[in-house]
């Protein structure tokens, strides 16, 4: 299925919001910097790796976020998540963004920032593309710093594409622990963000506003040179697979701009239905009108064949978009 540059609503939220929107699809994360919207319990006096009885504390932005035993287990599941699909033209592997402190974490974050910035900047007509992309990169980097600290309540997924040297036949491929080829995943091809519950929900989601307690998919993009190869469709499946594996609620929400017909058709074929559509008055805020779409995932037993829970959670990365 063809991928598109603006499939789900883009929610890159700067830490310190500007006086007005930097970009039609960039919204401030909270109305006031001094009182940011935050759903986590801080434990500033504790360092990363400390434990309090049955939980743990993970350092985020100078403080600490208390995690229950279940949340700690979910972080491990998120780190081990893998989704793989083999096309006739190559192979796509989707996993969670490498956490800070791990090998190649900064290099992967840099690649992701470049991917998102180039994707968001390509529709801009009123500013020099290169300078605007640099501004976006700064905003996106700070946004990713915030979002990575919300695991396991939210996850940033990255997909790597490796072209095949010969036709292998289309179909989904199960990955075993001994079959991991993390050193040769290819280039970063796509990314998406998944909020799994209210604690991981965006601070200022676009209208129509989705219920915060349900999973929400946003910031989906595929690298320009790799679009229209079915990567976007598989990235969407990877998001749904993660939601299932993390035992989140089964009703998923996402946004799609009315003008983006290609991703809209993809969502409809994937089972998403329109819940609500923006009023025409949204143009007054320089935003494009959007559909809020939703899908109910089927209850499944057992693990998906595209899911890998390997011993090595993370290693290397390169970069790409939808």
Quick check: helix, strand or coil at residue 105? Answer: helix
Mean pLDDT calculated for residue range 118-128: 71
Closest CA to 59 of 48, 45, 71, 72: 48
What pLDDT, on a 0 to 100 scale, did the predictor assign at position 166?
63
Of 79, 306, 301, 75, give the one whose Cα is nearest residue 179: 306
Q: Is 83 a catalytic residue?
A: no
Backbone angles phi, psi at 77, to 5 degrees: -65, -40
pLDDT digits (tens, 9 = 90+) for 5-14: 444 444 544 3
The pTM score is: 0.72
Of 313, 314, 312, nearest in space to 108 by CA? 314
Residues 6+ apart with CB under 8 A from 206: 9, 11, 27, 255, 287, 290
**Alpha carbons within 13 A on the beta-carbon side of 207:** 14
Q: Is the residue at 82 inside a domain?
A: yes
Q: Look at the chain and report how many structural domains it folds into.
A: 1
> How many Cα atoms within 13 Å fall on the side-chain side of residue 117?
23
The pLDDT of residue 314 is: 32
Mean pLDDT of 162-186: 58
CB 223 within 8 A of CB 320: yes
H/E stretch holding 92: strand 90-96
Label the pairing between strands 290-296 and 90-96. Answer: unpaired
283-299 average pLDDT score: 92
Determine phi and psi for 27, rounding to 5 degrees.
Answer: -120, 145
Q: What is the per-residue pLDDT across 26-82, written as a single tens digit (0 to 9) for each?
A: 433 333 333 334 333 322 223 333 333 334 444 444 344 567 888 899 999 999 999
Which tens digits make up the pLDDT trace of 218-273? 999 999 999 999 999 999 999 999 999 999 999 999 999 999 999 999 999 999 99
Residue 318 lies in a domain: no
Is 99 part of a structural domain of the chain? yes
The string of DSSP letters for 160-197 reads EEEE-SS---SEE----GGG--GGG--EEEEEEEEE-S
268: in domain: yes
Does 147 map to a domain? Answer: yes
**pLDDT value of position 204:** 86
Domain that holds residue 273: 69-296
Whether 77 is in a domain gets the answer yes
Distances (CA, A) of 200 to 16, 30, 39, 242, 313: 19, 14, 8, 14, 21
pLDDT at 140: 94
- Angstrom distance (rounded) from CA 20 to CA 148: 25
104 neighbors 317 (Cβ within 8 angstroms) = yes
Least confident of 74-83, 116-125, 139-148, 161-170: 161-170
Residue 236: inside a domain: yes
Q: What is the CATH number of the domain that holds 178?
A: 3.40.630.30
**Of 143, 267, 272, 307, catalytic:** 267
> If phi over 0 gives left and psi between -120 and 50 gives alpha, with beta otherwise, what is residue 260?
beta
Beta strands in 243-310, from DSSP E residues, in sequence order:
251-257, 273-277, 290-296
Residue 39 lies in a domain: no
């Amino acid at each position: 299925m063809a991928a598109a540059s603006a499939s789900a609503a883009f929610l890159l939220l700067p830490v310190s919001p500007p006086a007005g929107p930097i970009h039609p699809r960039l919204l401030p994360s909270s109305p006031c910097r001094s009182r940011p919207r935050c759903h986590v319990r801080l434990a500033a006096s504790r360092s990363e790796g400390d434990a309090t009885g049955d939980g743990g504390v993970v350092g985020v932005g100078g403080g600490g976020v208390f995690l229950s035993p279940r949340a700690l287990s979910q972080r491990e599941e998120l780190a081990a998540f893998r989704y793989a699909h083999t096309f006739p033209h190559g192979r796509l592997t989707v996993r969670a963004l490498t956490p800070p402190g791990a090998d190649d974490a900064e290099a992967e974050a840099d690649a992701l920032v470049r991917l998102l910035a180039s994707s968001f900047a390509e529709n801009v007509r009123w500013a020099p593309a290169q300078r605007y992309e640099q501004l976006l990169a700064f905003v996106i980097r700070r946004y990713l710093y915030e979002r990575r600290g919300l695991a396991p309540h939210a996850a940033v997924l990255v997909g790597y594409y490796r072209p095949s040297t010969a036709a292998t036949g289309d179909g989904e491929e199960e990955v075993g622990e001994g079959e991991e080829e993390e050193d040769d995943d290819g280039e970063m091809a796509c990314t998406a963000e998944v909020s799994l519950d209210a604690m991981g929900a965006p601070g200022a989601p676009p209208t129509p506003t989705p219920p915060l307690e349900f999973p929400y998919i946003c910031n989906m993009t595929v690298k320009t040179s790799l679009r229209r190869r079915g990567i976007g469709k598989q990235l969407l499946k990877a998001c749904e697979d993660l939601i299932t594996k993390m035992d989140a609620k089964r009703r998923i929400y996402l946004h799609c701009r009315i003008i983006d017909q290609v991703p809209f058709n993809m969502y409809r074929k994937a089972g998403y239905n329109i819940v609500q559509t923006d009023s025409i008055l949204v143009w007054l805020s320089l935003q494009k009108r959007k559909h809020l779409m939703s899908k109910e995932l089927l209850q499944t037993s057992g693990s998906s064949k595209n899911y890998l829970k390997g011993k090595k959670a993370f290693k290397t990365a390169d970069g790409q978009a939808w």
